[in-house]
Amino acid sequence: MYHQILHDTKKRGIDVSDVKLNLKQMMAAKNTSVDGLTKGVEFLFKKNKVEYIKGSAAFSGENEVKVNLIDGGEQTLRGKNIFIATGSEATPFPGLTIDEKKVVTSTGAIALESVPKKMVVIGGGIIGLEMGSVWSRLGSEVTVVEFLGQIGGPGMDAEISKTTKKILEKQGMKFKLGTKVLKGDSSGEGVKLEVEAAKGGKAETLDADVVLVAIGRRPYTAGLGLENIGLEVDNKGRLIIDEQYRTKLPHIRVIGDCTFGPMLAHKAEEEGVAAVEFVKKGYGHVNYNAIPSVMYTHPEVAWVGQNEAELKEQGVKYKVGSFPFSANSRAKTNLETEGMVKFVADAETDRILGIHIVGPNAGEMIAEGVLAIEYGASSEDVGRTSHAHPTLAEAFKEAAMATYGKAIHY
Amino acid sequence: MRPTRLLFARMSMIKFIGKRVPPNTITPAAPADEPAPHPASPSHSLPDSFINYRSKAQQHGPLGGHNRPSSSQHSSSSSPPPPPSSTNPSHAYGGIGGHSGHELGGVEPGAGRGEVWDRSELPERFGRLAWTEDEIEAVELGGANLRAGWGGS
């Protein structure tokens, strides 16, 4: 909003003067939101008669966990069925000590006390871009250093990734792709990072007030006492489970970030439901091909299903249709014309295989795509569905039309 | 008019099959006794230790849960529940203790006076356990092999 008031409102006929950022108040508002959501979960526990024991737990037996209570003391709990959902933590960068002040993870990045003049983000994945985008819009000079040749991580479609990079660069963010960080020094007032091209080249030094380490997340299972019951993790630290979320001890099931699949809250939510259904009913299901990914930058990026590179690798024949927001009525009116909607459908059957969006409201719009994929829709099914005018959703329909035929308005 | 008529002939790929009703018996993608890899597993396989543990654990009974008859099959107390399949070895061992008595259904004879069941008509869980090869051998040899093994000679 701050960024919009500074850059957009004048064009729309609203003169705002003396715009100031009150970061303390902004953080207080953020804390209120977080507290509200956390208390909401506690309320649901109470409402559904779920006992909430606060502490850190470790397995002391196959059916027993010992809890070190936050309020002091220890409690032993026994369970016929036990679910592990301990989540993940930021992967640290070797050679840089995280202090959550100068060298921060996403946890520290949402609690900075002032806007850093210069910020370097190590890792151009979703978390790095989201946090970098936030501080860039609040006035920080942000440079993203990414080892790979594209931003957004492996799931993002290459064309969408390129478009997103262009948009973010226009907003002032800088990118160093195909670049590796050799070492860092945070002993001085700021942080110095030595970087060089991944393929080898001349090293250079980047200065920053704050360095955000966002090279990925790893499963969090430390202190869980897995060794006490012989549970195994794979080479990435993920707990090994079968298709029913069971570990090798069948009454212990695992869901969420600490096991296979994308590290997303809504994926964990689906798994939680399916795992309980397996216990209670003997069956359950999660469609891993219909889990949406959303990057909350401005504009947002969202996708579901497979991207072009993945389909090429699998040798699947596909067709592509896209529609730019610059040709969409509402996007034009709102002066938010950057980005596009892109469909990838099976060349023979027209079944939708993937949907990729960068642009205004992408995170909300992808829900329609998830539904289409879940129901096994064709691009023609979506293209022949009426979408209200004038809405951003029309771009979605037009992209579907472009996939099986031709978009009307482009 | 022709294009409109063509439109009506178009069939949507989405097919509605009505309300979801779980079938009476669920056939899992893989037998419950054999753990299948998780669909999001990067290797699409389970480690050997995992499978070995499961096959060992199966001997002690906790994994027979998926062979349970559906509740509709034994909701009536007047008829005995169908005996578990004799071809499924998990019932000889893995089924024991895997279900509560209530879940397995009633065993009372019908309301008719003087109606009784023969012992052989009772569900398999009331019958004798199957002999293992080791037990048969132990009986045939009068326990000599056990004694020899126990004595360490």
The answer to whether residue B58 neighbours chain A at the CB level (below 8 Å) is: no
What residues of chain A have any CB closer than 8 angstroms to a CB in chain B?
A: 230, 232, 234, 240-246, 248-251, 259-262, 281-283, 286, 288, 349-351, 375-378, 380-381, 384
What is the per-residue pLDDT for B153?
Answer: 36
Residue B3 at interface with chain A, using a CB cutoff of 8 Å: no
- Write out pLDDT tens, residues B61-116: 445 444 444 443 343 444 444 444 434 443 433 445 556 666 666 666 665 556 66
DSSP state string for A263-274: --HHHHHHHHHH
- As given in the structure block, the two tokens for residue A409 are 């308005």
In chain B, residues with a C-beta closer than 8 Å to the C-beta of A375 are 14
Q: What is the pLDDT of residue B79?
A: 43
Q: Which residue among A243, A251, A377 sits closest to B13, beta carbon to beta carbon?
A: A377
Strand ranges (E), A35-112: 55-61, 64-69, 74-78, 82-84, 88-90, 103-104
Nearest to B49 among A232, A350, A351 (CB): A232
Tell me the CB-side half-sphere exposure of residue A231, using CA atoms within 13 A: 32
> Does B132 reach chain A within 8 Å, measured CB to CB?
no
Distance from CA of A247 to the nearest CA of B (A): 8
Residue A265 CB neighbours (<10 A): 9
Find all residues with CB under 8 Å of A232, minimum gap 6, and list them: A226, A239, A240, A247, A248, B47, B49, B50
Higher pLDDT, A351 or B73: A351
pLDDT for res A70 = 93
Of residues A248, A286, A384, nearest to B50 (C-beta): A248
Contact A288 B39 (CB under 8 A): yes
Pick the range with the lowest mean pLDDT from A160-174, A187-201, A218-232, B76-90.
B76-90
A355/B136: higher pLDDT: A355
Number of neighbours of residue B141 by Cβ within 10 angstroms: 12
What pLDDT, on a 0 to 100 scale, did the predictor assign at position B51? 76
Tell me how far apart the alpha carbons of residues A112 and B115 are, in angstroms, rounded to a whole number: 81
Residue predicted with more confidence, A193 or B136: A193
Residues of chain B neighbouring A248 (CB-CB closer than 8 A):
35, 49-50, 53-54, 57
Q: Are the Cβ atoms of A381 and B40 closer than 8 angstroms?
A: no
Query: Which of B6, B8, B13 to substitute to test the interface with A, most A CBs within 10 Å?
Result: B13
Quote the minimal CA–CA distance from B21 to chain A in Å.
12
Question: ipTM of the assembly?
Answer: 0.76
Tokens for A5, please give them.
């008031």
Higher pLDDT among residues A284 and B9, named by residue: A284
| pLDDT tens track for A93-126 | 888 899 999 999 999 999 999 999 999 999 999 9
Share above pLDDT 70 across residues of chain A, in percent, rounded to a whole number: 100
| Torsion sign, CA atoms A404, A410, B6, B10 | positive
Residues of B in contact with A230 (CB under 8 A): 53
User: What integer is the mean pLDDT of A314-336?
Assistant: 95
**B102 against A136, higher pLDDT:** A136
Question: Do A376 and B13 make contact, defined as CB atoms within 8 angstroms?
Answer: yes
**C-beta pairs of B9-12 under 8 Å, 24+ apart in sequence:** B10/A380, B10/A384, B12/A377, B12/A378, B12/A381
Residues of A serving a catalytic function are: 389
What is the C-alpha separation between A45 and A298, in angstroms, rounded? Answer: 34
Mean pLDDT for A8-30 is 87
Average pLDDT, rounded, for chain A? 93
Which range (A168-177, B29-38, B83-92) has the least confidence? B83-92
* CB spacing of B38 vs A245 below 8 angstroms: yes
The predicted-structure confidence for A236-263, as pLDDT tens digits, reads as follows: 999 999 999 999 998 999 999 999 999 9
Asked if residue A322 lies in contact with residue A402, where contact means CB atoms within 8 angstroms, the answer is yes
Q: Give pLDDT, residue A55.
A: 94
B49 touches chain A (CB under 8 A): yes
CB contact under 8 A, A243 and B26: no
For residue A45, what pLDDT is reported?
A: 93
Question: Token pair for residue A59?
Answer: 């397995």
Worst-scoring range by mean pLDDT, A205-219, A348-362, B78-92?
B78-92
Nearest CA in chain A to B49: A248
Task: Please name every residue paired with A194 in a beta bridge, in sequence order, or none if there are none.
Answer: A183, A205
Between A158-170 and A126-137, two packed helices, what is the crossing angle to 10 degrees?
Answer: 20
Residue A188 reports pLDDT greater than 60: yes
Tokens 């007032």 sit at which residue? Answer: A189
Contacts of B57 in chain A (CB under 8 A): 248-250
For the ranges A15-24, A180-189, A394-403, B97-106, which has the lowest average pLDDT? B97-106
- Residue A14 binned pLDDT confidence (cut-offs 50, 70, 90): confident
Mutate to test the interface with A, among B14, B63, B73 (most CBs of A within 10 A): B14
For residue A259, list chain B residues with Cβ-Cβ distance below 8 A: 38
Closest alpha carbon within chain A to B12? A381
pLDDT digits (tens, 9 = 90+) for A284-303: 899 999 999 999 999 999 99
Contact at CB, A241 and B38, closer than 8 angstroms: yes
Residue B104 has a pLDDT of 65
